[in-house]
Amino acid sequence: MRPGNPGGEYPALRRAIRDVPDFPRPGIVFKDVTPLLADPELFRVAVRAMSESFAGAGITHVVAIESRGFLFGGPIALALGAGLVPVRKPGKLPYMTRRTEYDLEYGTDALEIHGDAFGSPARVLVVDDVIATGGTAEATARLVQQLGGAVAGYSFLIELRFLNGRQRLGAAPAAAVLGY
């Protein structure tokens, strides 16, 4: 598993990610991946890097976290020959859902998944663009487990290492292409 990117293995990807200070609120430096997404070769490299650690791992479903996780989850699911399952904010999915709440540094939030998203046994890869504190990925793992699935791993484009989010993810392998 790629534990981060201490060696600068993907300098072109790193250069394509734009820092936006004070977004969404003062003191936050937002990692904007849209310039990377706009370049088809860099997008291809990012998807390949995010999926390669899990090739041959028997992944049956990629669970992509709203919203930027959707952008990476679809191509990763195709690369791994897996189904794609969205995890969304409450009220966005049209069918029966399972829900979990989780704590944020400034309150609480919730996520939902369709109750019939996959059968058991399912080997699930959780995908998002960034892991920060790990709360969203941890909540997503709880939803996967509620449906009888096993979290086989986590894949992120960016890990904000100073927030130690990986510590919340348990024993399943976690890979990040770039670390900050």
Write the DSSP string, 70-88.
HHHHHHHHHHHT-EEEEEB
Which of these is catalytic: 2, 99, 101, 105?
A: 105
Is 121 buried (19+), middle (13-18) or exposed (0-12) by CB count in 10 A? exposed
Q: Of the listed 2, 68, 88, 166, which one is catalytic?
A: 68
DSSP 142: H
pLDDT tens column, 98-132: 999 998 767 799 999 999 999 889 999 999 999 99
Residues in the chain: 180
The verdict on whether 123 is a catalytic residue reads no
The band of 4, judged by pLDDT with boundaries at 50, 70 and 90, is very low
Domains and CATH numbers, the chain: 11-179 (3.40.50.2020)
* Active-site residue flag, 68: yes
Kindly state the percentage of the chain with pLDDT values over 90: 89
pLDDT in tens, 67-83: 999 999 999 999 999 99
The whole-number pLDDT of residue 3 equals 41
pLDDT digits (tens, 9 = 90+) for 86-95: 999 999 999 9
Closest CA to 57 of 99, 134, 1, 137: 1
For the segment 52-73, the average pLDDT, to the nearest whole number, is 97
